[in-house]
Homo-oligomer: A and B are copies of this chain.
Amino acid sequence: MPEPVPGGPLSLRVPALAELELLLAVARLGSLGQAARALGISQPAASGRLRALEQRLGVRLVRRSPGGSRLTDEGALVSEWARKIVEAAEAFDAGARALRGRRDSRLRVAASMTIAEYLLPGWLVALHAGHPGTAVSLAAGNSATVAGQVLEGAADLGFVEGTEVPAGLDRAVIGHDRLLVVAARPHPWARRRIPVPAAEVAATALVLREPGSGTRQVLDAALAPYGGPAAPLLELASTTAVKAAAISGAGPAVLSELAVAEELAAGRLTAVPVAGLDLARALHAVWPAGHRPAGPARDLLSLTRRPRDRPS
């Protein structure tokens, strides 16, 4: 059982989003009063909020002067960390809005779990920035249900992983996903520069998602010619749990590159080169055959389409 958070819940130690937004607004606009107006609060409220923020952190974030306010060096650093939170909150909001508007939305999207988790929020933020009026609704499921909803007309646009697309749907490749074998630094595979043979991967106990999950199916199929995957070291029900296990050194894991991009960049995990395995799968947008996406669906699609991948 993981620790129930030493030092109390995060929410007591991390400033509220409103305070972080204020800091960013001050950084952007150069004055407390303007930032206050931008957030729809009074100037004294902004002054108080910022003072509370500085007191909680024990650091001076802003150099006030009659004529404006400017971030200190520490303030710049803190505001970058804060920006990460705010960006995650924007993605959350974009996703939540889409999830909320059930029937009456102008653009109904259905997406597979992986795409809905990692890609869609970013697209929706961009869509909202470019086409503010667009209301989107979202249904998430596996590839089969997504295809079904698009076929039935319950969704205007679908996003699926995997290679087979049912008849009756047109599709466009919007990107590629790839399962990666990843390992934390203590593991020998993390030092490999010479690719690990596929047969060795197939014979090794790995940290995996549970059977039935999309990534597990792809892996099982890819490893079948080599004797199938060995009995898993751990079988976990969520991508995050698999990541955590791999990072803590339980053993090598197999995950979508979308899920581990950040860990790879920060060096918490290393991609293990593998020889003779094709774990790539295309990401497709799908829509009813013949009905080329128009209006909002076209807007969204144009945000997602990669230039080198043309629709069929």
Asked if A92 and B14 sit within 8 Å, CB to CB, the answer is yes
User: A37 within 8 Å of B by Cβ?
Assistant: yes
User: A164 within 8 Å of B by Cβ?
Assistant: no
Shortest C-beta distance, A113 to chain B (Å), equals: 7
A122 to B266, CA, bound (A): 8
Shortest C-beta distance, A163 to chain B (Å), equals: 19
Q: Which residue of B lies closest to A83 (CB)?
A: B240
User: A interface, by DSSP: helix, strand, loop or mixed?
Assistant: helix
Q: Which residue of B lies closest to A186 (CB)?
A: B307
Asked if A96 and B57 sit within 8 Å, CB to CB, the answer is yes
User: A51 within 8 Å of B by Cβ?
Assistant: no
How many chain copies?
2
Asked if B16 and A16 sit within 8 Å, CB to CB, the answer is yes
For the A-B complex with A4-B38, A80-B117, A81-B121 known, give 12 more contacts whose Cβ atoms are closer than 8 Å.
A1-B40, A14-B93, A17-B17, A57-B100, A77-B99, A77-B116, A84-B88, A84-B91, A126-B268, A191-B307, A191-B308, A262-B262
A-B pairs with lowest CB-CB distance, top 4: A261-B265, A11-B18, A58-B100, A11-B17
13 CB contacts below 8 A, A to B, read A9-B18, A9-B39, A9-B40, A11-B17, A14-B89, A14-B96, A57-B99, A59-B100, A78-B95, A80-B240, A81-B96, A174-B267, A191-B308
Chain A interface (Cβ within 8 Å of chain B)?
A: 1-6, 8-11, 13-14, 16-18, 21, 28, 37-40, 57-59, 73-74, 76-78, 80-93, 95-97, 99-100, 102, 113, 116-119, 121-122, 126, 132, 140-141, 174-175, 185, 190-191, 193, 238-240, 247, 257-258, 261-262, 264-268, 270, 304-308
